[in-house]
Amino acid sequence: MIGILDYKMGNLGSVRNACATLGMEAQLLEQPEQLDQVDALLVPGQGAFRDCMGHLHELGWVDPLRDWVRADKPFFGICMGLQVLFEASEESPGVEGLGLLPGTVTRFADQEGLKVPQMGWNAVRWRGESPVYVPELNERQFYFVHSYHIPLTDAEWAAGITDFGGEYVSAVSFGRCHAVQFHPEKSQSDGLALLKAFADSLES
């Protein structure tokens, strides 16, 4: 059973529909006590970093999320569900993220001809090994909507790279924790293939 975190942020409808299309058994989680009912956790997200972390604190999810990932239980984050894994974001100075990965989420630099936010389709170059990122998806196009990004790094957890006025980290993977900056639930067949790979990895 996959739990979809409902913390009053994120595109829950599209995520639930994607899971249903793939035949993935899923349920919405509104309270941390429900975590013992699921085998994996899917965390979507949209909006501002401050609002996202505020909702997680208000609803009591911060420590349970940290404990879940640190226990190496299956996790898949989408968009803001990726950014909150880090220590902080330039979008919301003074607001702490979950701190599960080092670094600060930064705004795309102003460049001539570069329209921020990045909104639309862009390629992801996968690197390293992960049970989630299948070779057939390398350099395929996924749907992005965001103004802030993870700076490029050679860290082992940097699993996907995208170029938008310069390369940045668009996917991370460490242990059984995976997260992407784009929206697989809005990325047609390739996005569904990524979610299916995550579901399949739960059986291994």
Which one from 146, 149, 178, 183 is the annotated catalytic residue? 183
DSSP label at 86? S
Q: Are 185 and 18 in contact (CB under 8 A)?
A: yes
The SS3 of residue 103 is coil
Which one from 91, 146, 178, 185 is the annotated catalytic residue? 185
CA distances from 48 to 9, 24, 105 (A): 10, 29, 12
What distance separates the 2 farthest-apart alpha carbons in the chain?
A: 50
52 is catalytic: no
The SS3 of residue 193 is helix
90 is catalytic: no
Fill in the amino acid letter for 138.
Answer: N
Which one from 19, 79, 91, 149 is the annotated catalytic residue? 79
Quickly count: other Cβ atoms within 10 Å of residue 97's Cβ: 22
Report d(CA 87, CA 71) in Å as an integer.
19
In sign, the C-alpha dihedral spanning 136, 140, 142, 147 is positive
57 is catalytic: no
DSSP label at 186? G
66, exposed or middle or buried, with CB in 10 Å at 0-12, 13-18, 19+? middle
Residues designated as active site: 79, 183, 185
